[in-house]
Amino acid sequence: MGDGVKKLTLRGREAVNGYLFILPWVIGLLLFFIAPMIESIRFSFAEVSISDSGFSVSINGIDNARNFWENYRYFLLADASFLEKLRTTALDTAAAVIVITVFSLFVAALLHGKFKGRNVYRAVFFLPVIMTTGVMYLLIQQGMSGGELYTSTSIVDSGNAFTFKVTSLRDIMLQGGLNADFVEAVTKLVNQIFNYVSKAGVQILLFLSGLAKIPASHYEAAKIEGANGWESFWKITFPIISPVIFLNTIYTMLDSFITYGMENSGNVTMYAIQQMGFGKVMRFDYAAAMSWIYTLMIIVFVLLAYLAVGLPSSKVTEGR
């Protein structure tokens, strides 16, 4: 018997130890992720009716006469409003990823290095992480936007929330003969500036951490070789921090996809799913189908980001 234990190879012992370390997670995964996920997928292919005594689930095409894909068909083909919401969320997220990634790299570059007041600025720029999550932020936004505070639900739509209105900028651009769609897009972007700035805290942190890793000697060598600031950014900084760019792309993307929104602002898809499942209607089956369509879209986005940013960045890093 004791022999069996002794015979466990080094490799085998390593595997056992590895499994022991991840064991808590495996249990948690099965109980609180896989099981609920299977349940939710089952709901999405069923008709769920809720009564006082609980709810009953009848699987489409087996327990009832509906098409197996009925819930999915409804949101993909019959009801255009959900697709419209998906489109809005996808476009908002794409814009957020681009703007926040560029912006946070820019700010990190400003904050990097030694200068007076650096610590104060750093403390300020990370502050949004504390300020701008959850209910508190919604309440601050609502307060600042004034009027539309009170509707029937407790967390309410704050419309455009806190925005710097830039109507004069829009007028100038329109008079300048610029394309109206373009002007609209730019105006929207500027109006959103606070939202972007306030969501960049973690990203700035990650970029700063990446920049701190670059040895000063690299830049000195480049200077001796006669490279200017622009060249050393693209030849030194960019390749080294490109994994962080990928990390930030993914982080921003998920942050945007997973935060709760309101009816007309923020993440409208999450709001619609939440309302369908836990609002007045309580359609678990529809909510489940909506959420799995949405999840698929998120996965496609993450894969695209991997192909567009992740793969090239890993090649750049290897090529160094």
Residue 73: CB minimum distance to another protein, A = 19
Does residue 273 contact residue 259 with C-beta atoms inside 8 Å? Answer: no
How far is residue 172's CA from residue 176's CA, in Å, rounded to a whole number?
6
Q: Which secondary-structure segment (H or E) carries 141?
A: helix 134-145
- Kindly tell me which of 137 and 219 has the beta carbon lying closer to another protein: 137
- Kindly tell me which of 175 and 228 has the beta carbon lying closer to another protein: 228
Residue 179: CB minimum distance to another protein, A = 28
- Kindly tell me which of 96 and 206 has the beta carbon lying closer to another protein: 206
How far is residue 249's CA from residue 254's CA, in Å, rounded to a whole number?
9
- Kindly tell me which of 160 and 317 has the beta carbon lying closer to another protein: 317
- Report CA torsion sign: 190, 194, 195, 198: positive
Residue 265: CB minimum distance to another protein, A = 16
Residue 313: CB minimum distance to another protein, A = 10
- Kindly tell me which of 173 and 244 has the beta carbon lying closer to another protein: 244
Non-local CB neighbours of 140 within 8 Å, separated by 6+ positions = 131, 162
Does residue 56 contact residue 83 with C-beta atoms inside 8 Å? Answer: no
How far is residue 308's CA from residue 89's CA, in Å, rounded to a whole number?
20
Residue 259: CB minimum distance to another protein, A = 9
Beta strands in 109-208 (DSSP E): none
